[in-house]
Structure 1
Amino acid sequence: MTNAMVENSRSMVETPETRRDDARLEDLGYHPELKRAFSAWETFGVAFSIMGVVPSIASTIFYNLPYGGPVGMIWGWLISSVLILFIGLAMGELASSMPTSGGLYFWTHRLSPPKYRDFLAWMVGYNSFLGNVSAVSSLAWACSGIVFAAASLNNSDFAATAAQQFGLYVGILIICGAFCAYGTEIFAKTQTPSVILNVILALVTIIGLPIARRHELNTASFTFGGFVNLTSWPSGWAFLLSFLAPVWTICSFDCAVSLSEEATNAATAVPQAIVGAIGSAGILGTVILIILALTMGPDVAAINDDALGQPLAYIYLQAFGQKGSLVIWSFMCIAREL
């Protein structure tokens, strides 16, 4: 794209606020080139919807249910959320002072000793690239798993082949790549419905599951203190491995930094999005996992090893039956894709 085309595309969305944001970057010696199409709410929405607490719990419950049962699920999530919040606060401070889409490697270059800044910035940028590649790939793979779980809910005899799994995974990657590259404004507008859908799924889980399972609830002592280690790891190490689920989910908050050049009033909107997304995901995830531990029944091994292959889908199936759980899971697929 030529400079004239870039300037023309940017001028279509120029406002006093965007001009002020761009001037701030130019003071840092950084020439902005992206259109600012995201409001503060939409910037938060991107971080929150990528976390997608309920769909992410569905995708990662394999990494906390067998590593401590209710204790690993609830306390592993809560402790990790608090620790991640400290990282988010530090990153929010940097995003406020240097709101660039260059993010980590730009900050590293500006703050490192002159002798090492080029190498360190390159290292951070390269590792950030690898992290983004693996993160997007894992999200697509998680989405494909949720879609196939819906097929298993509909037909208990269904078992996806390796070719079907890989084909859907690649298809999701291609669709998401094209959408993010060429549909920036549409992508921004989908964040509000995405947040709403994630909140609805959370409410269905928080309110619906206890009502549906009201006669089969676990005890408070099991819900908050039941420790079940289904692995060969020592109990202490198994509990630490339960941190994998919240770390995978909540650590995507840094996507807000990548939107710094596309957000209006970025110096405020991006830090708010970072801290707000971590806080809301931490609290909401803890509440949801408490509900799951309360309603899932006492046999953790049966839930983890069920032929359905998806513990959260199994819990929904026990509570809402096939048709009800299939409806909920269909919206889960949409939320994970958004």
Structure 2
Amino acid sequence: MEHKNDKVTASMARPGEETDIGSADELLGSLGYTPELSRNRSTLQVAFMSFVLASIPYGLATTLYYPLVGGGPVDIIWGWVAVSLIIICVAASLGEITSVYPTAGGVYYQTWMLSPPKWRHIAAWTCGWLYVVGNITITLAVNFGTALFLVACVNVFETAEGEGVLAGETYEVFLIFLGLTLLCNAVSSLGNRWLPILDTFAIFWTFAGVIAIMVCVLAIAKNGRRDASFVFTHFEASSGWTPGWSFMIGLLHAAYATSSTGMIISMCEEVRAPATQVPKAMVITVCINTVAGLMFMLPLVFVLPEISDLVALSSGQPVPTIIKSAVGSSGGAFGLLIPLIVLAMICGIGCTTAASRAIWAFARDGAVPGSKLWRKVNTKLDVPLNAMMLSMVVQIILGVIYFGSTAAFNAFSGVGVITLTAAYAVPIAVSLLDGRKTVKTGSFYLGKIGTFANIISIGWSLLVIPLFCMPSVIPVEAATMNYASVVFFAFTAISIAWYVAWGRKHYAGPPT
């Protein structure tokens, strides 16, 4: 059945674009699905959305505590470069497979198609749950991180006693998180047709904000500047772990900021030529993000205050303090932080959109409890509204963990990174074990380079799972415990229970 918005999109498209849309819908039909969402994104627009999902200056700002405590400047700069190079391999590997199977089911559908018939049910089920949980928890981490960051930004203004003007009590942080979550869902659901414009605005806004921060903190540098030796070679571990492992723990900073790389695959059914556009967008975006991340972090490290003071901040958000120290003014610091706050909200909207598509795609194959409800598309809004609301409710329920532990953000970001990275690795591993026969038929086949990228991607996934279940500092207390493993286990238990209760008898997998 043709979706009414497909007609509108086709009538507004140029002849070449209309051909792309028709070809993409034919390819989707050959993969077993009926087009239900309008294809309203061009190559640039899908690249911009991929950039927004990462929102590198914001993602790096909210998690800067981890490399500071893990190893200082060396962890911040070289950890970012190392992880970015690895993620380019992940993006290239996923791009090869996506050029063959461009559906909203993403890595879940790809795993099904690439796996041997004997193992495809359990392999696709496992990958699908990892992907869906990753989308939900990384969206939760973004909105929760924004709440914590916003409190720290407001507190660049201080009372006469030298304390922040906003107490940042647990309930206050939760209410801010709740408001941000509701706002992101409202914009994503009600303004879907304008989201490509918002994504386009975001990329220009980002670079304007980064340039403003670079110029101001380096030009003013009220407390002086560090030398290049400090910025590029100084290692200072404050975590309590041995130096090498401490450095590795600090990589959560870079891994969190790049974990959204494969989330853009869930938008394949809203892109005009997904088989070529999405793979290119993933790889190009990681390269752009690498440069943007260095542009943002290098100036901050050059004006870095004492690391011991930054890791001792109760807010866990050192960036507002760094910028305020550099410019010497609360008002000036807050002005420079505004671009990051706005970008954080846009990132939340983008992640909300991608997460809803991932749930919807998984539900339409019957793999989520209550699938008949979650797989419905709201034709007036042109979005899978029910799936979006399910994602929102789960995020809010998980957000309550913050009342029990202020380390909740660590758990959310850790689980998001673990599950998404593992989900990305499953189809890559299956493809590699099959001799990469299928990807040779795609338009993004990379030959021996692709094989090398596959090996790096799988190795990274094997490292990430135990690494980001570790607490960031030792000795461990209840307040500093990393609950990522607990949340990960809870979702795993739900997945296994649903498979035993329903999936092993009724789950038929994607149409083939």
User: What is the TM-score when the length of structure 1 is the normalising length?
Assistant: 0.94
How much has 1:91 moved relative to structure 2? 0.3
Letter in 1 for 2:186: A
Corresponding position of 1:12? 8
Deviation at 1:29, TM superposition (A): 2.8
Tell me the secondary structure at the aligned position of residue 97 of structure 1: coil
Structure 1 pair 215/149, CA: closer, same or farther in 2 (3 Å)? closer
Describe how 1:165-244 pairs up with structure 2 within 5 A.
165-213=173-221, 216-244=224-252
Structure 2 distance, partners of 1:176, 1:13, is 25
Counterpart code for 2:101: M
1:269 aligns to 2:277 (yes or no): yes
**Structure 1 residue 71 corresponds to structure 2 residue 74:** yes
Deviations, residues 189-238 of structure 1 (Å, cap 9, x unaligned): 10111111111122123332211118711111111110111111111001
The correspondence for 2:145, drawn from 139, 142, 151, is 142
- Contact kept in structure 1, 2:3 and 2:37, CA below 8 Å: no
Alignment-derived partner of residue 254 in structure 1: 262
* Distance (whole Å) between structure 2 residues aligned to residue 188 and residue 325 of structure 1: 30
Structure 2 gap segments, 5+ residues each: 11-17, 159-163, 347-512
Do residues 95 (structure 1) and 98 (structure 2) align?
yes
> Does the 8 Å CA contact 1:49/1:198 hold for their aligned counterparts?
no
Q: Which residue of 1 aligns with 2:50?
A: 47
Instruction: Name the CA distance, whole Å, in 2 between partners of 1:324 and 1:215.
Output: 15
Aligned to 1:32: 35
What is the DSSP-based 3-state SS (H/G/I as helix, E as strand, rest coil) of the residue aligned with 1:92? helix
Which has the larger displacement, 153-162 or 35-44? 153-162
Say if 1:101 and 1:258, in contact at 8 Å, map to a contact too: yes
Instruction: Quote the Cα distance in structure 2 between the aligned partners of 1:212 and 1:330.
Output: 18
Contact 1:100 1:260 in 2 (8 A): yes
Q: What letter is aligned with 2:285?
A: A
1:292-303 matched pairs, under 5 angstroms: 292-297=300-305, 299-303=306-310
Task: Return the offset for 1:86.
Answer: 0.6
- CA distance in 2 between partners of 1:69 and 1:205 (Å): 20
Matched, 1:58 2:54: no
Q: Residue 327 of structure 1 aligns with which residue?
A: 335
1:10-60 Cα offsets, whole Å, 9 max, x none, are 211122221111112222333221111111111111111121111111111
Structure 1 counterpart SS, 2:176: helix
Alignment partners' CA distance in 2, 1:269 and 1:169: 34
More helix by share: 1
- Higher-RCO chain (CA-CA 8 Å, sequence separation at least 6): 1
Residue 40 of structure 2 aligns to a residue whose secondary structure is coil
Q: Distance in 1 between matches of 2:175 and 2:140?
A: 13
Deviation at 1:309, TM superposition (A): 4.6
RMSD: 1.7
**In structure 2, how many angstroms separate the alpha carbons of the residues matched to 1:21 and 1:7?**
14
Give the deviation of 1:178 after TM superposition: 2.9
**Pairing of 1:158-169 with structure 2 (within 5 A):** 158-169=166-177
State, as a whole percentage, how many aligned pairs show the same letter. 24
In the TM superposition, what is the alpha-carbon distance from 1:95 to its structure 2 partner? 1.4
For 1:296-311, list aligned pairs within 5 A.
296-297=304-305, 299-306=306-313, 309-311=316-318
| Helix, strand or coil at the partner of 2:63 | helix
Separation in 2 of the partners of 1:307 and 1:104? 39
Identify which range, 305-314 or 256-265, moves more after superposition: 305-314
Matching residue of 2:287: 279
Tell me which moved more, 306-315 or 19-28: 306-315
Pair 1:287–1:81, CA change in 2 (3 A): same
2:116 alignment partner, one of 113, 116, 129 = 113
- SS at the partner of 2:62? helix
How many correspondences in the alignment? 333
- Worse-superposed segment, 250-259 or 205-214: 205-214
- Cα distance in 2 for partners of 1:200, 1:173 equals 26
CA 1:125/1:281 → structure 2, altered by over 3 Å: closer, same or farther?
same
Q: Is the 8 A contact 1:54 1:201 kept in 2?
A: no
Partners of 2:332 and 2:193 in 1: CA distance? 34
2:91, 2:282 within 8 Å by CA — same for their partners in 1?
Answer: yes
- Is the deviation greater in 268-277 or in 299-308? 299-308
- Superposed displacement of residue 120, structure 1: 1.2
Shift of 1:131: 0.7
How many Å apart are 1:280 and its aligned residue?
1.2
With over 3 angstroms needed to count, the CA separation of the structure-2 counterparts of 1:205 and 1:330, relative to structure 1, is closer
CA contact (8 A) 1:250 1:282 kept: no
